[in-house]
Amino acid sequence: MDLGLHASRVLVTGGGSNIGRGIVHGFAREGSRIVISDIDGAQAERVRTEALELGATEAQVHIGDLTRPGVADAAVQRACDRWGGLDAVVNNAGWSVPGFIAEDTDRAKWQRTVEVNLYTAIATTQAAISPMRAAGVGSIVFIASDAAFGQIRQGVYGATKAALIALARTTAREHGRHGIRSNVICPGLVIPDGPEAVGEASLWAVGDDAVFNDKQIEFLRKDIPLKRLTTAADIANAVVWISSEMAARQVTGQVFSVSGGYTMP
C-alpha cells in the first residue's frame, strides 16, 4: 500500500538507537526526508547512513540534548529551513533505569527521567505545532510504553509515559481543527537488534542482561498472547502507518499498544 510518505518531512527524536533507529528505518523505506535528532552524534550519523541506504530521499542529523531550552525548536527549524515545513514528528526520545518503586529513591534520577521522557515531548510538540498549523496538516506521534498502564519495576518511568498519553490527547483536541493529528504508540519490551542498534548513551549500552535478563524476559513472554517479543520494526510499522495522512487521516487521540497483546488499552 502506498502510504503517501515519499519525500514527506519527518523529525524523529531519539532517532539514533533501538526503537528510534527502527522508526527512522521505517520512514526511510517510504522515501521520506528525515531529521534524526539525538544526543549521540556518532550513532545518529550511523543511522543517517543506514537511512540513505534504505531509500530515504534525504536524511539530516541534529545533535543536542532536547531537555535543554531551545534545542527542540532548533531540531524542528532544521526541517523547516531545509524543506519548508514539517509533516510528521515522532516524540521518541526516552530514558529509563528499571527499579522497584520502594527502592527507586534517587531524586536526581527521577528528574532526569521526567526531563527526557516528558519535557522533550512537550518542547518538540510546541515547536512543531506552528509550522503544522500554517500548513493545515500534520501528524504527531508519541512513543509511550506499556508501563504507562502500571508495570513492575517501571513506576517513575511509567508515570512519565502515562503523562504522554494525556499530552497527546490534549494536543489532538486542541489542534484537530488545524488538521493536526496526535496519537500514541505503546511498545512492549523491545530488545535491540544488535550492538549496531545502540549508541554509547543508550540505556542498552550497558548490555541487555543489565536491563532485562533472560529470566525476566521469559517471565514477561508468558503473559504475551502472541508469545513473542516486540521488535523495533514492529513499532516502526505502526508509527509509519499512523503518520500517513492517506492511511490514517481520521485517526487522532488514540492509544495503540504494539506488544503482542501484553496490554490492551
Which residues belong to the active site?
157
76 CA to centre of own chain: 15
Contacts 24+ apart (CB under 8 A), 219-227: 220/189, 220/262, 223/262, 224/188, 224/259, 224/260, 224/261, 224/262, 225/260, 225/261, 225/262, 226/260, 226/261, 227/260
For residue 169, what is its C-alpha cell? 490527547
Number of H helices, E strands in the chain: 10, 7
Strand runs labelled E in 120-208: 138-143, 180-187
